[in-house]
Every structure is written in structure tokens, then in C-alpha cells.
Structure 1
Amino acid sequence: MRPVLIWGALIAVILWPVAMALGSPLLQWREPVYIVAGFAGVLAMALLVMQPLLAAGLLPGLPAMRGRLVHRWVGGALVLTVLIHVGGLWITSPPDVVDALLFRSPTPFSVWGVMAMWAVFATATLAIWRKRLRFRTWRAAHMALAAIIVLGCVIHALLIEGTMEIVSKVAVSIILITIAGIVLLRPYLLITKRRV
């Protein structure tokens, strides 16, 4: 019963913000490209919730090796959703995207979004080069980038008034920070427990 509850909760956390965004009044007069770009951003944040759980092997029914494989596939999907999000925004307003990428945008949310975007791309590049790096080096870099991605995505989402509905956005942000924080700090907590 416990595995069913865990998977049910995870699916709800992923689908809830997407379902709530479907009813957003901000979508009424928008172009289809803008709507797709907005939903890609919502989906990216929802997928991000899965990543620390998969990496730490905390999802029931998935052996560690399979969980890591799914982690890689979800990471690829995350890169794709970010590309669709930014690409769609580029099509609807190239000057705004250029300003954001050059960190000259007057909107603070764009700075955090761009930081998270580059961290996602850096993480994907790091994953490709994983076998050429020492495990400790790779792990430290991966964890640091993961922290930047989570922090950047959450701040970006909370500051922007866009496709995401406020209650689901705040709830997913809290869930994401909690899960990522537990997984990122878990090795240090285990070391502390062993010493005590």
C-alpha cells in the first residue's frame, strides 16, 4: 500500500500544476507558441521533483540501477522542456530573450530562470562526461548544479506571473525544495549519525 501512496502522491504533484495551469486566464489571448512555451516551463518544474527521488533511489519498485537510468531519461526530458520553453519565448519575443540571456532584463525572474537554464545544460554536459571524471569531482559538481537548478527554478516561478496558478506553484516549490534539500544533505546527515 505504501508504494501506491508514494507513486500516487508523486503523480499528483506532477499533474496538479499542469492541470491548474490549463485554467489560467492569462492563456486566453495568447498565441499557441507562447502557450506551449509556458506549459513546457510548468512541466520542467514538475519533472524536476522526480530527479532527486530517482537519484537517491527513494521511489519504491525501482531498483537503484533502473532508478538512475530513469533519472538520466528524465534529465533528457528536462533539457528538452527547457529548450521548448526558451525557444517558444524566443519566437514570441526575441528581444526579451536576448536581454534575459545577457542579464540585462529589468525583470528579476529572468535572471533566475537563465541561471537555472545554464545549470540544466551544464548538468547534461557533465552527465555526458561522467566516465571521464573522478566520481567525487563529478558528484560535487552535479550536486552544486542541482542546487542552482532547484533554487533558480523556484525563484523564477515564484517571481513570475505566468501560466502557473499561485497555490500549486507555491506547493510544488515547497515540495521541490524539501525533497532536494533532504537528498542533497542526506550524505552529510548519514555521516553525522555514524559519528554520534
Structure 2
Amino acid sequence: MSRRVRAALIWGGLGLVLFLPLFAALDSPLLAYRRPVYIAAGVAGVLGLMVLAVQPLLARGVLPGMSLLQSRRVHRWAGGALVLAVVAHVVGLWITSPPDVIDVLLLRSPTPFSIWGVAAMWALFASALLAAFRRRLGLRLWRQIHRGLALVVTGGTVIHALQIEGTMAPLSKAALCFFAVAALLWAVTARNSAQRPR
């Protein structure tokens, strides 16, 4: 198999896993008569999960057509986009129903999925904040903290998404969640002698 064909298959498969849940969510009958801000909040959540799923691959620099340096640069930008997606998700839900969001943030919500979403959100914010100080922390300590927070972010987000019976189709959502977890576990445990410091 040629390198170009292999690259096309990888990107095609990745695109399928990432975008099928988004298309399914946008086509959901549950969006009928919903306010635009509610729809935007839901889409932001789906986009955040999509970005989260590809982040480990970017961190490891394994996607075809990108050098390790380019891949990690995209990883950092994608991390910023992930934070914005989460903020948009929460703000959109706040506009739709402020009391519900307050209960979630204060851990008073009766819905189990909300706890996992809040845990993932704060872990993400902590990771983004610590990224600004990664040089002061030292490379080894930064990687350990970053990986630990990534496990909380991904685990919390996946449980949050799977417990919600919303616009995302069950099968495509489950496939994306499985991919996100598998990619992270591989990135955390795999050994790569060619890996260079960020």
C-alpha cells in the first residue's frame, strides 16, 4: 500500500468517526422547535468531543502529512479551541436555563451526567492554565500532570456524553467516545523513541 493511499485511508476513517456524530446530531428530531442558542450549545459540545478525540494523536505526531513539530503546534491550538467549545457549551446552556447550570456548577444537580461534565470542565481549565507555566514546571513534571488531567478530561467527558440521551445518535456517539478513550490510552502508554520534547 502506497503512502498516499494509507494517508487517505487514515484521514478518511478519522473524518468518518469524527463527523458522523455531528451530522447525526444536526439531523436529530429533538432539535425541532429548539431555540438557536440551545442548538449552538449542543453543537459546541459535540465539537468539543471531536477535538478531544484527536488531541492524543496530535500530541504524538502520528497523523500523516504533519511533522511532529507541526502536529504539536496544532495540538496546542486545538487545546485552545477545546476550551472555547466548552465555554460556548456552558454559556449556551446558561442562557437557555440559568438555574439548571447553577445547580450543575454547585454540584446540586440530580442528573448524574452533570457531575462528570463539571469534573471534565475544571480539569480542562486547569490543564489550559498550567500550559502557560509548563516551562517553569519542567518537561517531565508537566507531562505527568498534563497526562493525568487528560485522563480526567477524557474520562469525564465520555461518561458525560454517554449518559446523556440527547441529539447525538447512540451508535456514532459510542464509536466517537470509544475512539477518544482508545486514542488517549494509546498515547499515554505507547513508547516512541522518536518522540522529542515540545
Amino acid in structure 1 at the alignment position of 2:61: G
2:160 is the alignment partner of 1:156: yes
- Gapped runs of 5+ residues in structure 2? 194-198
TM-score (norm 2): 0.92
TM-score (norm 1): 0.93
Provide the secondary structure at the position in 1 that maps to 2:190.
helix
* Partner of residue 194, structure 1: none
Q: CA deviation at 1:152?
A: 0.5
Amino acid in structure 2 at the alignment position of 1:54: L
* Partner of residue 127, structure 1: 131
2:156 is the alignment partner of 1:174: no
Q: Deviations over 1:1-59 (max 9, x none)?
A: 11111111112222111101111111102111000000100110011111000001111
2:189 is the alignment partner of 1:185: yes
Provide the secondary structure at the position in 2 that maps to 1:60.
coil
List aligned pairs for 1:25-174, cutoff 5 A.
25-174=29-178
Provide the secondary structure at the position in 1 that maps to 2:46.
helix
Q: CA deviation at 1:163?
A: 2.1
- RMSD of the alignment, in Å? 1.2
**Conserved in 2, the CA contact under 8 Å of 1:42 and 1:163?**
no
Whole-Å separation in 2 of the counterparts to 1:16 and 1:73? 23
**Conserved in 1, the CA contact under 8 Å of 2:38 and 2:92?**
yes
Runs of 4+ in 1 over 2 A off after TM superposition: none
**Conserved in 1, the CA contact under 8 Å of 2:117 and 2:156?**
yes
The count of corresponding residues between Structure 1 and Structure 2 is: 189
Whole-Å separation in 1 of the counterparts to 2:167 and 2:66? 32
Provide the secondary structure at the position in 2 that maps to 1:59.
coil
